[in-house]
Amino acid sequence: MFSTRQLFFEILAQTSPAPIALEIEKASGCWLYSPEGRKYFDLIAGVSVSNIGHNNPVVINAIKQQLDKYMHLMVYGEFIQKPQVQLAEALCSLLPGALNSVYFTSSGSEAAEGAIKLARRYTGRHEIISFKNAYHGSTLGALSVMGNETLKRAFRPLMPSVRQIEFNNEDSLEAISHHTACVIAEPIQAEAGVIVAEHDFIRKLRNKCTEKGALLIFDEIQTGFGRTGDIFAMDCFKVYPDIVLFAKSLGGGLPLGAFISSRDVMSALCSNPALGHITTFGGHPVSCSAGLASIEYIIEHRLAENACRAGEKFRELLVHPAIREIRGKGLLLAAELENTAVVKKAIKRCLANGLITEWFLFDEKSIRISPPLIISESEIREVCKIIIKSLDEV
C-alpha cells in the first residue's frame, strides 16, 4: 500500500524537482491543518487567491445553494445563467463605466489569452508589448508575453511580434507605435517581487496607448479584490485600461477568470467570425455564485481597508537585520533578504515553525507576505514573531 505522499510523487505530474509537498487535510480562515494535526499559518493565500480566508462560511453557503439548483449546463455564452449575470453586474458596478462587458473564463491564463485575441481582432494589428519580469500565465500566448527568458526559452518558437520593455522606464514607452495592438501590464508586478508602478509611468503608459490607438490591458489577476488596499490596484492610480483581467480571488476559492472591456471592443469576438473565443467551463455557475458572495464579503467587511492597515502593521513589526527592504502595497508585500540561499533557509525555518511562505517566480531574494485579507492584529503579531524567530535561526 502506497501512502498519499508516495503517490503524490509517483503519479501526479511534478512542476519542479522540489515541491513544498506539505499534505493538508483541512483549512479554515488563515490556517491550514496537516493530517497529523499540525497547524500552519498561510502567508501565501494560494498565491493571492484566498482573500476572504479559507472555507469562508458565507461562500460555502452560496456554493451549496447553487449546487442544489444546477452545475454545468452548457458552454459559456449560450444559456442565461443568473449567477453569471449577477456577478457581471457586481463587477461592472465596481469598475469605470467604460468597462461594461464581461467575458468569463476558467483561469487567469485563459483571460490573458482571450484579451490578447480581442486586442488583435479589434485593432487589426498584431504587435504586442509587455514588460520585463511580467507574469500573465503559462499557456502559449500568455507565455509569449511573459517577461522572463529562463521560463520561455525552451518553448520557442512562441507567438510572433511580441516584445518586452522596461517597467517604470518612461523612455521605453517610445516602443509603443501605430503597429501596437495592445500593451499588457500589471499595475503592480507581483512575481517580479512586488514592483509597484510609478504614478507618472502608468499615466504616461495610458496616454501613449491612447495616442497610438493601442489597447491597454491591465492584469489585476493577483492584485484584485482588496489585496493592495484598494478594491483594484488601478484605483490607486486612477488610471484605467481598455481591458482588465481578473482571476485568482475572483472565484472566492473556485476556478474563475474574466476579461472585461467596453461593449464596443468586446463585440469584436462575436462576429466575423462568430465564436471568436469559446470556453466550456468559463463562468461556471458555482464559481460565479462563490465569486459574488466573496465580493460582497470583501466590501461588507471592508477588507481592502484591513489590507492597508495590516500591511502597515507588518512593516512596523517586521524589523530584523536580515530584512533589507519591504516592498509592495496593502497585503501584497515582498520582504527582501540578503540572497537566495538565505531566503531558502528562512522559508524552511518558517515551515518548521508553522508558517508557510515562498519566494517569487522572478525574485528569489524575497519572501512573500500575502495572507488572507481577514488577518487579525493578533495573527499579524504571531506571524511576525515566527518570521523573526526563523530569521534568527538562519
Question: In the bound complex, what is the minimum distance in angstroms from residue 247's beta carbon to ligand PLP?
Answer: 4
Contact present, 41 and 356 (Cβ < 8 Å): yes
What is d(CA 297, CA 223) in angstroms, rounded to the nearest whole number? 17
Closest residue to ligand PLP: CB criterion:
108
If the CB atoms of residues 190 and 343 are measured against ligand PLP, the closer one turns out to be 190
C-alpha distances out from residue 201 to 168, 187, 273, 338, Å: 6, 10, 37, 29
If the CB atoms of residues 358 and 382 are measured against ligand PLP, the closer one turns out to be 358
> Interface with ligand PLP by CB under 6 A: which residues?
47, 107-109, 112, 135-137, 186, 190-191, 219, 221-222, 247
Centroid of chain to Cα 152: 20
Question: In the bound complex, what is the minimum distance in angstroms from residue 58's beta carbon to ligand PLP?
Answer: 23
Question: In the bound complex, what is the minimum distance in angstroms from residue 83's beta carbon to ligand PLP?
Answer: 19
The H helix count followed by the E strand count for the chain is 14, 16
If the CB atoms of residues 260 and 391 are measured against ligand PLP, the closer one turns out to be 260
If the CB atoms of residues 329 and 349 are measured against ligand PLP, the closer one turns out to be 329
Question: In the bound complex, what is the minimum distance in angstroms from residue 219's beta carbon to ligand PLP?
Answer: 5
If the CB atoms of residues 137 and 328 are measured against ligand PLP, the closer one turns out to be 137
Q: What is the dihedral of CA 94, 95, 99, 104, to 10 degrees?
A: -50
Contact present, 352 and 41 (Cβ < 8 Å): no
Question: In the bound complex, what is the minimum distance in angstroms from residue 193's beta carbon to ligand PLP?
Answer: 13
If the CB atoms of residues 253 and 386 are measured against ligand PLP, the closer one turns out to be 253
What is d(CA 130, CA 148) in angstroms, rounded to the nearest whole number? 11
- How does strand 355-356 pair with strand 366-369? unpaired
Question: In the bound complex, what is the minimum distance in angstroms from residue 139's beta carbon to ligand PLP?
Answer: 7
- Report the candidate in 263, 311, 257, 313 with the shortest Cα–Cα distance to residue 288: 257
